[in-house]
Amino acid sequence: MADHYIMNFNTRDLPRYESDYVILGSGIAGFFSALLAGRLGASVTVLTKQTILDSNTDKAQGGIAAAMDTEDSPELHYQDTLRAGAGLCDRGAVRILVNEGPRRVLQLMDLGARFDVEGGRLALTREGAHSCRRILHACGDATGAEIQRVLNEQALAEKNIEVLERHFAVDLLVRDNVCYGVLAYDYSKGELKVFRSRAVILATGGLGQLYAHSTNPEVATGDGIAMAYRAGAEVMDMEFLQFHPTVLDLPGAPRFLISEAARGEGAILRNGREERFMPRYHELAELAPRDVVVRAILEEMQKDPRGGVYLDLRHLDPELVLHRFPNINRTCLGYGLDITRDMIPVAPAAHYMMGGVKTNYFGETNIERLYACGEVACQGVHGANRLASNSLLDGLVFGGRIVERTAGIWREQMPAWTDFASELPEPGESVDNLAIQEQLQSLMSIYVGPLRDRQGLEKVLEFIDGYAYLENTAAGTPQGAELRNRLLVSRLVAETALMRTESRGGHYRKDYPRPRNSWLKHIILRK
Ligand code: SIN
């Protein structure tokens, strides 16, 4: 059974560790499920590719959506989520999200998360396509950092949880459709290790780094999807990727997110002539669905390539701006921009993957003992386009469900172990991982970004095919392994984008610019 591995190994020769759960990823989905499982008495090992601060959770600004206000209801949240999902949400999954969400948020507060309060009540903001104010935030615009702080503190203090940083999960150890554990590379020791478990939970996050510009941290390279697909897991909705409309666009500055909550509080988008343009594109103007805002920005940029597009907060009360967006203010000041006086140059960037490893409502994949939650997973809750601030909630709700589903698994026998091995040839010539990665990022951005067409998608697939030989060779380094993941996941995105001959949600085809009823269905791929 050597066919789905990307590094050579024999588990007989490697250090081996055992725990009830091995959880890959330390964002909200990974750490929340780890905490629930640890507190029930299970032993948990969390492997994280870099550090516990390298996650999309930590970077999340706007907040977490949940119907917590007396003027809101799960029903309204349900309707908004379905509308944003453009006909492809799984209604059962959305019901679970909106009904169980508030309880999970309360649990997070019990763990110590402090959300902003005004007049003794939770302060709520609005973001695109929400019909009311329902987004909880913390420290103004550092919601994710507050959640990550609490989860980090709790997970590190929990005696049943071991957190191993700088451990890159290379492959799932799967035989006869049962997952027995994980093969991981310990960067600090420079060695492969085996983590055997009763259950593996994938919570590795997204894949924004397949693109040249992304809001995601460096670690978001689609590894979880790649290793699950290689091992025989089904993946779904891979063509649906969300681009965030407003990311800082200054030469030399990182693509720092300018939260949609800024538009929720009244910020306006302007073109190079300082004209407000969104009302020409959608009745919800700046709060239209993200894909609409992204396409409008790109159109304005195309009409006036040197003019740029800007987010304007200058008309808002400066006190409110500084109170609500201290983090954005600090970052922009670092680049010489005072957001109460200067417009912020912005551009779209890759942000969130709606598709991923297909699961049911309990995070179960089609591989026994393999579960997935958070951005890496896809049970259809976001459909073709995620409603803003539903992602942190998704991680909590479906991460929690996995632990409830598997409660007691630690009292069962560990599945009987037989060693795993892989002996693939190494590539004959030396491979310049970084050069290939950069070319791929550039092609993905041009042709598999917010605007796609057949010729462009075929061009990307042709490039990827040029490296198909790597699939049957072993990577000698984790960088080589990561490159194989990048190529594989880019291929899954481009292939499904080519198949879907319509436009819907996060997937827009210039050659098929309308939605088609015949495409009210999901694309599911399996190796
Ligand atoms: C933001 O703050 O704009 C990001 C919110 C999200 O992507 O859900």
The 3-class secondary structure across 299-342, one letter per residue, is HHHHHCCCCCEEEECCCCCHHHHHHHCHHHHHHHHHCCCCCCCC
502, 515 contact by CB (below 8 A): yes
Beta-ladder partners of 24: 47, 202
Q: Does any ligand 1 atom lie closer than 6 A to the CB of residue 152? A: no
pLDDT of residue 62: 86
> Token digits for 477?
């380094």
What domains lie within the chain, and their CATH numbers?
Answer: 247-348 (3.90.700.10), 425-525 (1.20.58.100)
pLDDT of residue 282: 95
Instruction: Specify the residue with its C-alpha closest to ligand 1, atom 8.
Output: 389
pLDDT of residue 411: 86
Residues 301-351 pLDDT 10s: 999 999 999 999 999 999 999 999 999 999 999 999 999 999 999 999 999
* Ligand 1 pocket mutation pick from 28, 61, 327 by most atoms within 8 angstroms of CB: 61
Average pLDDT, stretch 201-229? 97
For this structure, is 290 an active site residue?
Answer: yes
Quote the ligand 1 centre to 278 CA distance (angstroms).
19
pLDDT above 70 for 34: yes
CA distance 271 to 277: 7
pLDDT of residue 3: 67
Q: Does any ligand 1 atom lie closer than 6 A to the CB of residue 85? A: no
Q: Does any ligand 1 atom lie closer than 6 A to the CB of residue 391? A: yes
Single pTM value for the model: 0.96
Residues 464-505 pLDDT 10s: 999 999 988 999 999 999 999 999 999 999 999 999 999 999
Q: Does any ligand 1 atom lie closer than 6 A to the CB of residue 259? A: yes
* Nearest-atom index, ligand 1, CA of 387: 8
Active-site residue (options: 198, 290, 324, 401):
290
Show Cβ contacts of residue 178 under 8 Å, excluding neighbours closer than 6 positions.
367, 368, 369, 415
Helix H or strand E encompassing 236: strand 235-236
* Nearest-atom index, ligand 1, CA of 143: 2
Beta strands 377-378 and 356-358 are parallel
Quote the ligand 1 centre to 91 CA distance (angstroms).
22
pLDDT of residue 493: 98
pLDDT of residue 36: 97
Strand arrangement, sheet containing 64-65: 64-65, 135-136, 124-125
Q: Which of 362, 1, 437 is nearest to 177 (CA)?
A: 1
CB neighbours of residue 104 within 10 Å: 22
CA distances, 290 to each of 44, 265, 284, 374 (Å): 37, 16, 11, 20
Quote the ligand 1 centre to 112 CA distance (angstroms).
22
Q: Which of 502, 242, 266 is nearest to 394 (CA)?
A: 242
Q: Does any ligand 1 atom lie closer than 6 A to the CB of residue 260? A: yes
- Running DSSP on this structure, what letter comes out for residue 14? S
- Running DSSP on this structure, what letter comes out for residue 87? T
Of 34-48, 82-96, 417-431, minimum mean pLDDT range: 417-431
Q: Does any ligand 1 atom lie closer than 6 A to the CB of residue 261? A: yes
The percentage of residues in the chain with a pLDDT greater than 90, rounded to a whole number, is 93
Share the mean pLDDT of the chain: 96
Quote the ligand 1 centre to 363 CA distance (angstroms).
23
CA distances, 227 to each of 10, 132, 168, 221 (Å): 18, 39, 12, 12
Give 2's pLDDT tier (boundaries 50, 70, 90): very low
